[in-house]
Amino acid sequence: MKENNLKLEQLDLSFLPKGLAGERREQLKKALEGIKKIKWPIKAVVLGGGYKHKELTYNQKSLGSDIDLFVFSNFIPFFWKKLLKIQEEINQPVHFFHYRGVIPLFLRKSKTFWAYRLKQEGIVLEGDKEILRKIKAREDNIPKIEALRILFQTLVVWLCLAQLNSEKSKRNIDKFTILRSYLNIGESYLTFAGKLAPSYRERLNKIDEVAQEFNLKRDLVEKIKLGYKTKIAPLEMEEHEFSLLQVKKDCLEAINHLLSIYLKTNASLEEKLDFLGKEIRPKYLFNLAFFYFLRNIQEIKPKFLPIVFRFKIIDLWKMSIYNEKGEKNKLFTLLNKYFKDYEFSDEVLVKIFEAHPSISTVEII
């Protein structure tokens, strides 16, 4: 891999308050140094997030936006565990950084929402400068089902995880976490409508049009707009009261709403997921990578054949619904399909969602 395509000193962070730019450069330097410990071939390292369009969450004293560093390598499953160990070391004492794995072999099928974002927002720091051009995702070719994936990811990895962290720290969930979840609801409707745009500013400009198309409630639309403003004008944000229960309810209602449109039925949510499951077929190499990710979760022992050859993302989504509704018998029935043994908790559900390459560049249908 060719190194130093873009020197960190050249990365434009001038939009950040004084002092935060230098702090972020030092953090990025540490993250890049961690990758040098990997001996497997790596094609490129890409900085994701809002840096390209100067759209981050921050205040005068600290940055709310994490660092997402995407490592492009066909050998990711073989050194993923080591990357996670390096990530853990970097995140001491403050958790702010994530390595993300991308398998270039799959880029010819890269039509997901996350692939689109990476293509539009990514900055190649090291390696193949043209790697992002290979991503196929455009505003008009992202499958509608991706809108559902955004919402389920929000329900678990954002809201469930935020609740767990709040309970551990005995602190209230910060407003930016809830508003980011409302931003994600906006992203899901834009994706479903085929009206995404490269930057948050451009997407915000389309929200009223999409809200009218889907007949969204005015209160929800205003919260979605506030969510976008956390990235576009974070220093201008005013104080608002937000409810975790309400944002969860709004997320579930959006899932139900889009499924009703997609499947043309008003059946129950569980029935809709059953109908949807008949349309989605597994990607076997994709699921093999998933198996390797799952092996790194200490609380569960995955069954090889069901995970690799019969795993359905619909079952993962059902797990989140059953867990949210407290329907443990149905949840454990699903877990028994895929795991030899498990110690289930909300933390484990979050880990399974994080392990699934749901923010990878490969579509699921």
Per DSSP, 139 falls in state: T
Residues 27 and 42 in one domain: yes
pLDDT at res. 212: 97
Nearest partner of 55 among 162, 180, 164, 142, judged by Cα:
180
State the Cα torsion 52-193-103-81 to the nearest 10°.
80
For residue 156, give Cα distances in angstroms to 74, 232, 324, 351.
28, 25, 9, 10
State whether 176 and 263 are in the same domain: yes
The pLDDT value given to residue 2: 55
23 and 88 part of one domain: yes
CB 308 within 8 A of CB 284: yes
Report the Cα 175 to chain-centroid distance in Å: 19
Share of the chain above pLDDT 70, in %: 94
Residue 47 lies in a domain: yes
**The pLDDT of residue 282:** 65
Amino acid at 279: E
- 292-343 pLDDT, tens digit per residue, is 888 889 999 999 999 888 888 899 999 999 999 999 999 999 999 999 999 9
Does 140 fall in a domain? no
Q: Domain check: are 103 and 162 in the same one?
A: no
240: tokens are: 């608002």
The answer on 208 and 118 residing in a single domain is no
Domain with 316, as residue range(s), is: 284-355
The reply to whether 130 and 26 lie within a common domain is yes
Q: Do 261 and 289 belong to one domain?
A: no
- pLDDT at residue 360, rounded to an integer: 46
Residue with the two structure tokens 């660092």: 67
d(CA 257, CA 189): 10
One domain, residues 244 and 295: no
Do 288 and 235 have their domain in common? no
Q: Where are the alpha helices (DSSP H) in 53-154?
A: 76-90, 113-121, 145-153
Are residue 65 and residue 109 in the same domain, yes or no?
A: yes
CATH number at residue 29: 3.30.460.10
Among candidate residues 277, 293, 320, the one where a domain is terminated = 277
In this prediction the pTM is 0.90
Report the domain count for the chain.
3
Full DSSP string of 160-188? IHHHHHHHHHT-PPPHHHHHHHHHHHHHH
Q: 360 in a domain, yes or no?
A: no
What parts of the chain have a pLDDT lower than 50? 358-365
